[in-house]
Amino acid sequence: MNSVPRLIEMIKSPFNLGGEKPVRGLGILVLVLGVIGIMLALNMDTSVINSAGARVNDLNLMADRQLYILAAGAIIIAGTLMAALSGIRKKLASLDKH
């Protein structure tokens, strides 16, 4: 019985969920999803087999890959900003008091 709350704390702690900065945990999660998205986009096959049986590059698939990489990069930037700036409001408020 005592191990269940400890397990919940172990799950919460890497992302700081339920703590004073839940946005930081969400930012880290978004950052990880963006990195996974870039890895999937870079793993895309952009060639197709033509009628002669040779593999040729497909410009539409290459454009899709570029779009996925761009979107995942934007997601990474958003996650980084969320994680980095999650506690800035409290820090600014404490500076105003001094």
pLDDT tens per residue, range 39-60:
999 999 999 999 999 999 999 9
Any domain includes 49? yes
Any domain includes 54? yes
Domain count for the chain: 1
Any domain includes 68? yes
Q: How far does CA 60 lie from the centroid of its chain?
A: 25
CB 73 within 8 A of CB 38: yes
pLDDT over threshold 90, residue 89: no
Q: Dihedral sign, CA of 20, 24, 30, 35?
A: negative
Any domain includes 77? yes
CB 58 within 8 A of CB 49: no
Q: Band of the pLDDT at 94, cuts 50, 70, 90?
A: confident
Any domain includes 18? no
pTM of the predicted structure, to 2 decimals: 0.70
Any domain includes 13? no
Q: State the Cα–Cα distance between residues 54 and 51, nearest whole angstrom.
A: 8
Q: What would the two tokens of residue 64 be?
A: 């899709």
Q: State the Cα–Cα distance between residues 39 and 75, nearest whole angstrom.
A: 13
Any domain includes 82? yes
Q: Print the domain residue range for 68.
A: 23-97
Any domain includes 36? yes
